[in-house]
Every structure is written in C-alpha cells, then in structure tokens.
Amino acid sequence: MTKKKLDHRALARLISEIENDRDAAEKTLAKLYRDPENVQVIGITGPPGAGKSTLTDSIIGKLREAGKTVAVVAVDPSSPFTGGAILGDRIRMSTHANDPQVFIRSMGSRGSLGGLAHATFDVVNLLRSSGFDAVIVETVGVGQSEIDVLAVADTVVLTLVPGLGDDVQALKAGIMEIADIFVVNKADRDGKERLLAEIRMILELNRDRFDWVPPICETVATEHRGIDGLMEQVTLHGAYVREHRDAVRRPKLARQIEKMAADKIGRNILAILNEGGKFPAWMDAIIAGTKNPYQITQEIGNYISVRKEA
Ligand SMILES: Nc1nc2c(ncn2[C@@H]2O[C@H](COP(=O)(O)OP(=O)(O)OP(=O)(O)O)[C@@H](O)[C@H]2O)c(=O)[nH]1
Ligand SMILES: [Mg+2]
C-alpha cells in the first residue's frame, strides 16, 4: 500500500482546527477520510493512575520494533489543556517523543465545545486516514464518557490494577461489555490473584454473550513485562476484527454517528428555533402571560416535527 503521510506539523494544525472550528474541520475531514482495513485503533482505558500511559509507552516500543508507525491521542476530560500540554502523559511517553514515526497528542476539555467524544472521533478518524499503522487512544476512567470515546477504537484494552479497592463488580457494566482485552497491570503488587479471580468470574458469567472471549494479560508496564503477551492478544483481536468487520464495527459506528448527530443538532437547534424570529416571539408570549413554557415546549415539538416532514 502506498502511504500518503501528513507531516506532523500539518496534523497538529488540523487537530487545532478540529478543536477550534468544527465546521471548517468537518469539511476538511470529509475530504481526507479514509478507512484502511489494516489500520488498528487501540483504545486504552482504566482508572486514573492504572499505568495506561506507561503501558502505552511500552506498546509504542513494541510497534516500533515491528517497524510500525504509531499515532497516540491521550484524552483527559478532567484537564482543560489541549495541544500536548498534559504533562504526566507527555513524560510517561517521552521515550518516543523524538521519534519522527511517532505522533503524540493530548486532548483536554478546552475547545472541544461539541463534546470531547466528538472531537476525539475527529482526531482519531484523521489519524486513521493519515497513513499510520496503528493509532492508540488513551482515556482516563471507566464511565459513560469513556465508553462513548472508545466507540472509535477497534480494540479496547481495559487496564486494572490490584488492590485499588474498587472491585471489578463495581465497574460500570458498559465498560466490561466493551473491553476486548483485560490487563492486570502492576502485577508486581499484592492482590493480583484476587483481581484475576474477579475478572475470570465476570467473564465466566457472561461467557454466552461473547463471540470473542476477552483474554486477561498480566503486565508490569514500568519494567516492560508481559507486553509481548499483550501485543499477541492485540494482534489476534485485530485479525478477529478484520474477519468480522461488519458485525464488530456496526454498533461502534452507530454509537459514533449518534454522538455526532446529537452534537450537530445541538449546535444548530437555536439557529433553527430562531428562524423567522420564532424564539423571541415565544419569549414575548411567556412574558406577556399569553402562553406558559410548557405550551411553548409543545409548540416547539410540533414545529420540529413539521420541519421533519417538510
Ligand atoms: N509498581 C508499578 N508501578 C507502575 C506500573 N505501571 C505504572 N506504574 C506507575 O504508576 C504511576 C501511574 O502511571 P501512569 O502511566 O501515569 O498511569 P495512567 O493510568 O496513565 O495515569 P492517568 O493518565 O493519570 O490516569 C506511575 O508512577 C508509574 O510509574 C507497574 O506495572 N508497576
Ligand atoms: Mg495517563
């Protein structure tokens, strides 16, 4: 395959555009979008401090050894910073900071008005289209927003650590459902056996629901231990996704398009309601006491369904 590679500076510029000017970015993305079958997007999620960035650094190392190019997006909803300013992640992945075949970018909540999930889809789709062999998305947490973000990943790696006190049962069901590979990181710590037993139990209970049974990998990311085993599973899952491409990707795409549509509608709704001065007229009516907010809401519903049929 001939790879059309965007240089890093051009990529950084496009990502800033995604963060600052959604409509302009949408036009660019519509032109650039490609979906090559052999690009694997790996999502790495898990609780804060589980070792996701250290693990990512190790994985980048293995991919580079195999001669692959890698792009990484670290998503941190709790950070206002963007453009590579999330310090911890940068340091943790600093081994590869000067490798021209590795592109690393951090994203925070600032500037992603349309929601971090949508901005992440855009950035990952851009990177997927840009000639990298692998794209890694690191996202903190195990809640709904991470589940949304990970709709963009082909392979989801859920990173857990022993002895954190949060039992596996306490994890949101959703995150367990989207995990393709479980990693027990910090396997050098006490409590590993208990965590392994809990994960095995959950997997056993749900066995019938899996076509792909998620494997459990033990790692010590700081010492690059267990990474070969993890990469083996990542590669196997990549092959599984290619083989069952439509079935695997359909629900993920549906989730992405739902998010993107809600975002688009949300951004346009006030403009729509303002058409023909409707919005101020509704306010006037409430203030004049001729209508109450619930009657207005009903009118808005009617107005939108009329538009839908038009
Ligand atoms: N003992 C031990 N420590 C580890 C291991 N992996 C990572 N750490 C340490 O755990 C701390 C957190 O690691 P990070 O890689 O920053 O974790 P993270 O999940 O990316 O953290 P956030 O992005 O802040 O949620 C660091 O001090 C790492 O050195 C491991 O396998 N064993
Ligand atoms: Mg991190």
**Which residue, chain included where needed, has tokens 């690393």?**
104
pLDDT in tens, 78-135: 665 555 445 555 555 667 878 889 999 888 766 454 577 888 999 999 999 999 999 9
End-to-end CA distance of the chain: 46
Q: Which of 160, 222, 225, 230 to mutate to test the pocket of ligand 1 (most atoms within 8 A of CB)?
A: 222
CA dihedral 219, 224, 230, 231 (to 10 degrees): 170
pLDDT reported for residue 238: 96
Indicate the DSSP class of residue 80: -
Name 148's Cβ contacts closer than 8 Å, sequence gap at least 6.
Answer: 117, 255, 259
pLDDT reported for residue 165: 62
Q: In what order do the strands lie in the sheet with 155-160?
A: 102-107, 70-75, 134-140, 40-46, 155-160, 181-184, 216-218
pLDDT reported for residue 89: 55
Residue type for 58, please?
S
Judged by DSSP in three states, 125 sits in: helix
d(CA 202, CA 176): 9
Distance 39 CA to ligand 2 centre (A): 23
Q: Which ligand is nearest to the CA of 54?
A: 1
Q: What beta strand segments (E) does the chain contain? A: 40-46, 70-75, 102-107, 134-140, 155-160, 181-184, 216-218
**88 Cα nearest atom in ligand 1:** 16
**Which residue, chain included where needed, has tokens 């519509």?**
30
Which helix (DSSP H) or strand (DSSP E) does residue 297 occupy?
helix 293-309
Q: Which ligand is nearest to the CA of 220?
A: 1
**48 Cα nearest atom in ligand 1:** 25
β-pair partners for 134 = 40, 70
Structure tokens at 231: 């990469």
User: Measuring CA to CA, how many Å separate 250 from each of 10, 28, 34?
Assistant: 31, 24, 17
**76 Cα nearest atom in ligand 1:** 23
pLDDT reported for residue 270: 72
Query: Is the separation of the CB atoms in 130 and 33 below 8 Å?
Result: no
Per-residue pLDDT of the chain (310 residues; tens, 9 = 90+): 344 455 888 998 898 888 888 788 899 999 999 999 899 999 999 988 899 999 999 999 999 999 999 999 998 766 655 554 455 555 556 678 788 899 998 887 664 545 778 889 999 999 999 999 999 999 987 777 788 889 999 999 999 999 876 567 667 677 778 899 999 999 999 999 999 998 998 888 888 877 899 999 999 999 999 999 999 999 999 999 999 999 999 999 999 999 888 888 887 777 777 777 888 888 999 999 999 999 999 988 887 776 655 5
Distance 229 CA to ligand 1 centre (A): 19
Apex CA 213: angle with CA 121 and CA 65, to 5°? 60
Residue nearest to atom 7 of ligand 1 (CA): 51
Structure tokens at 204: 């056993």
d(CA 124, CA 107): 11
Q: Which of 44, 54, 57, 192 to mutate to test the pocket of ligand 1 (most atoms within 8 A of CB)?
A: 54
d(CA 25, CA 31): 10
Distance 267 CA to ligand 2 centre (A): 31
Distance 292 CA to ligand 2 centre (A): 49
Q: Which ligand is nearest to the CA of 92?
A: 1
pLDDT reported for residue 81: 54
* Domains (range + CATH), the chain: 8-243 (3.40.50.300), 260-309 (no CATH)
**50 Cα nearest atom in ligand 1:** 19
Which residues form the pocket of ligand 1, taking CB atoms under 6 Å from any ligand atom?
48-54, 88-89, 92, 140, 185-186, 188-189, 220-222
Q: Does the pTM of the predicted model rise above 0.75? A: yes
Q: Which ligand is nearest to the CA of 72?
A: 2
User: Measuring CA to CA, how many Å separate 300 from each of 274, 281, 289, 296?
Assistant: 11, 12, 18, 6
Judged by DSSP in three states, 100 sits in: coil
Distance 146 CA to ligand 1 centre (A): 19
Distance 159 CA to ligand 2 centre (A): 11
Other CB atoms within a 10 A radius of the CB of residue 68 amount to 15
The most distant pair of C-alpha atoms in the chain lies apart, rounded to whole Å, by: 72
